[in-house]
Structure 1
Amino acid sequence: MTATTEDDILRSARALLVGGGYNGFSYADVATSVGIRKASIHYYFPTKVDLVSRLVARYREEAEAGFADMARRHPDPLDQLRAYIGFWSDCILDGTNTFCLCALLATQIPVLPEEVVAEVRAYFAMLSTWLAAVLDNGCKQGTFTLDDTAAAEAEKFMAAVHGAMLSARAYGDGKVFALVTEPLLDGLTARR
C-alpha cells in the first residue's frame, strides 16, 4: 500500500504527539515535517481536533487489527499476552515507538478537547475488552488462575504495562519495562 499525504500527516502528528504532547505541536510543525503547506493539512483535517481524533481512531483500528492477527498467529492466551508485551518491549528497546499514544494522551486528558478524550477512552475500552477476553479464555482453558474477575484483572494488567512504559521512558532504560512486565505473566500462571 502506497502512503498518501493523509498518511504522512498522521504519521508526523503521531511522532510529534509522542515527542511533545498535544499542545507541543502545531500544523506548522506537521507541514515542515511532511514537506507540505499548512493549507494542505487543513484540506484533510480542518482542525487540530479533527487531526488528533482521526489519529487516535486509526490507532485504535490498527490495534484491533493487530489483536485479531495476534489471535490467529497465537491461539494460546498466554502466547497472546507474551506477544502483546513483546511488541511493546521491542518498540521500547529499538526506540521506534517508545510509548502507547493513548497512554500518553490519557495523561493529558484535563487539557484535551472532548472529541479527543472520547477517542482515547474508546481505545482504552477496546484494549480492556480484548485483555479481559484473553484472560477469560485462558481461565476457561486452565492456563490462568485469576484473583479477580477477568475485567478487573485486565485493568490491572493494562495499568502495569502502561506503567512499565512510563518507567522505562522516565529512566531512559528499556530494561525497566521487562523488569515490570515479566512477572505479570508469571503471576497469571503461578497461581495454579
Structure 2
Amino acid sequence: MKNDNGTAARLVGLAREVMQVSGYAGLHYGSLAKTLGITRAAVHHYYPNKVDLARRVIAEYCEWTRQQLAEIDVMDAPVDDKMRSYFALYRSIIEEGDERLCPGGMLAAEVMTLPPELRADVRKFFDLHVTWVAKVLLGDGSRTEPAGEAARVVAALQGALLVSRLYGRPDSFDAIVDGLMIIVPTTAPIPTKRPARKASVPTKTRKNEGR
C-alpha cells in the first residue's frame, strides 16, 4: 500500500479522537474506514484486531505524556508552578473541543469490559501519572508519602474533565482545579492555557463518527 505510514498515523489519530468521545465501545472499523476514505480491509491491514489499535492509541498517548512531563521536569520552577503546568495538560483536552475526555479516563470507565491486555495498559497509563505527581509533590520537602495525595490529584483531574463535559462549561474544570491547590500551595492564578510548548499529537481529523 502507498503511504502506509501516513495512513497508519491518521488511523491512530482518528481512533484516539473516537475513544476520547465514545470510548473503546465506540470504536468501529467501518466508521473509521468511511471517515478516512479507505476500506475496512485496509484498517485490518494495519491493525488486525480492535484491541491492537486501542493499545497503539494508548501507547502513543503515554509517550506524548512522557514528553510533556519531561518538559515540566526541566523547568526551573517551584513545585506549585510545575503542578500548574501539569493541570494545564488536562485543560488542553477541553480546548480540543468535541466534548473530549482523556483517552485513559474514558477507557478506565470501561475497565470491566476491556480485554485484559488493554486493561493492563490503562493501569500503566494511570501509574505514569500518579508516580510523576507523587515525585513532584515529594520535591517540596513537606511530604514523606505523597502517593495517596497524587492519586487524589489524578482522580480529581479526570473527574473535572467529566464534570466539564457534563455541564458544557470549562469553568467547571477550573473550579475543581482551584480546589487542588489546597494540596499544592499557590502563588499565582492557574493558567487556562498551557505555558509549555505543545508536543506533536495526531492531527485532528474530520468530526468523529461512531459518537
Name the TM-score class by shorter chain. 0.7 to 0.9
Give CA-to-partner distance per residue, 1:39-90, whole Å, 9 cap, x none. Answer: 1111211100100011111111110111001222454321121011123224
Matching of residues 106-185 of structure 1 within 5 Å: 106-138=108-140, 140=141, 145-146=142-143, 149-185=145-181
| Maintained 8 Å contact 2:23/2:107 | yes
- TM-score between both structures, scaled by the size of structure 2: 0.79
| Maintained 8 Å contact 1:10/1:51 | yes
Q: What is the root-mean-square deviation of aligned Cα atoms in Å?
A: 1.9
Task: Give the distance between the partners of 2:168 and 2:14, measured in 1 at CA.
Answer: 23
Matching of residues 1-192 of structure 1 within 5 Å: 4-73=6-75, 75-93=77-95, 95=97, 98-138=100-140, 140=141, 145-146=142-143, 149-189=145-185
Q: CA deviation at 1:186?
A: 4.0
Q: Which has the higher contact order (CA 8 A, sep 6+)?
A: 2
Q: CA deviation at 1:97?
A: 7.1
Task: Give the distance between the partners of 2:88 and 2:32, measured in 1 at CA.
Answer: 30
Q: Which protein is richer in helix relative to its size?
A: 1
| Maintained 8 Å contact 1:18/1:101 | yes
Percentage of pairs with the same residue: 31
Q: More displaced, 128-137 or 22-31?
A: 22-31
Q: Runs of 5+ in structure 2 lacking a partner? A: 187-211
Q: CA deviation at 1:30?
A: 0.9
| Maintained 8 Å contact 1:128/1:154 | yes
State how many pairs are aligned: 182
Equivalent position SS for 1:4 = helix
| Maintained 8 Å contact 2:58/2:122 | yes
| Maintained 8 Å contact 1:167/1:177 | yes
Task: Give the distance between the partners of 1:108 and 1:171, measured in 2 at CA.
Answer: 21
| Maintained 8 Å contact 2:33/2:43 | yes
| Maintained 8 Å contact 1:132/1:150 | yes
